[in-house]
Amino acid sequence: MTRRQGELLAWTVGGVGLVATLVGWIVAPSAFPHAWLAAVTVWMGWPLGCMGLLLIHALTGGRWGEAIRPQLVAGMVTLPLLLPALIPLMTMLAALYPWVRADTALHLDNRFYLNLPFFAGRVVVYMVVWFGLAELILRALRNPAPEVALARLAPPGLMLLAITVSYAAIDMTMSLDPRFVSSVYGLIEISEMGLLALSVSMFAAALGLPPDESTMHSLGRLLLGLVVLWAYLDFMQVLIVWQSDLASEAPWYVARTAGGWGITAAVIAAGHFVLPFFALIWPQTQRSRRGIASVAALLVLSGVVNGWWLVVPASGRGFGVLDVMAMFGLLGVAAAFALRAPLLPMMPDAVRSHA
């Protein structure tokens, strides 16, 4: 499949998904907020994760970053989709977050943080930091000495990105239950974003012009490391909540293990850790184009399911067609943007050469 054919397919999937989502919003307005939030949460991890990996490579070096840099930049430039994607969410905050409603907010100990004015201010800060970093990264890549420019930007950029992404994860998904508290939640979401961005980039590279066997091996080991990191952080949160058994924390997991969501949690554990782990510990898989592509695709799919599992149970309803259509719509349009990215005039030469 050529780039043009892939872009046409992405636009088709995205367009059909968005139209179906709009129809679903009209027909079942109560189901739309959580369906759209799940889609935004999953997609947002792609550009932000790409941004983080670009900055990390600027500090660590290695052929792995150079091999997938075009894919990472292409993923990062989908970030402008965040502005229109946030508009529906900002109009229905009360349907998503109990802390917006006055009757619930009065009984919260953390209402100094969970309140609309402070929330709106944080969103503005996130936008300024993320869009500013994306522009600075593109400028650095267009610099005659891109590695030096990126290395200067990386330390403050990574600190700002880590802080804002942690708070954004708390605001967007953890605060769906305003009484739930987890000091590791932000780190879990950061590792999830990095894993998603790396998986998408490696899948695209494997389907296009795959790196040499040695570089593919390095990418496979990095992917394995992120899989283990995510699993460790997520397991520690489960263990601590289970051991504490507090009334403020346990209900978050009760809602996400009741009924079919318990099976979903097991599917996520298998697809996001168990199967990728046992596949990637074999050097043959790490060096195989098909093996890497298969594992990366499984991780992307598991990340999507994880996004639904985090958000949809908070709505008190079951999983529905609208959830699928919203995810298809936003991810399809984002994929089309990423495939168009190398043709944009502001792209660095290293990216434009992959057009």
CA distance 116 to 81: 23
Q: What does the pLDDT look like over 234-291, one tens digit per residue? A: 999 999 998 887 887 889 999 999 888 999 999 999 999 999 999 999 888 888 888 8
Q: How distant, in Å, are the alpha carbons of 118, 236, 305 from that of 266?
A: 36, 16, 11
pLDDT at residue 159, rounded to an integer: 96
How confident is the model over 131-152, as pLDDT tens digits?
Answer: 999 999 999 998 888 889 999 9
Query: What pLDDT, on a 0 to 100 scale, did the predictor assign at position 1?
Result: 65
- pLDDT below 70 — which residues of the chain? 1, 210, 346, 349-355
* pLDDT for the residue 67: 87
Task: Read off the pTM.
Answer: 0.92
Q: Would you call 323 exposed, middle or buried from its count of C-beta atoms within 10 A (0-12, 13-18, 19+)?
A: buried
pLDDT at residue 61, rounded to an integer: 85
Instruction: Report pLDDT digits (tens) over 84-109.
Output: 999 999 999 999 999 998 888 788 88
Task: Tell me the C-alpha distance between 201 and 69, whole Å.
Answer: 8
Closest Cα partner for 115 from 129, 97, 127?
A: 97
Distances (CA, A) of 213 to 116, 154, 263, 283, 287: 51, 28, 37, 11, 5
Burial 119-132 (b: 16+ CB within 10 A, else e): beebbeebeebbee
Tokens of 33: 């907020």
Check residue 246 and give its pLDDT.
83
- Domain positions in the chain are 3-349
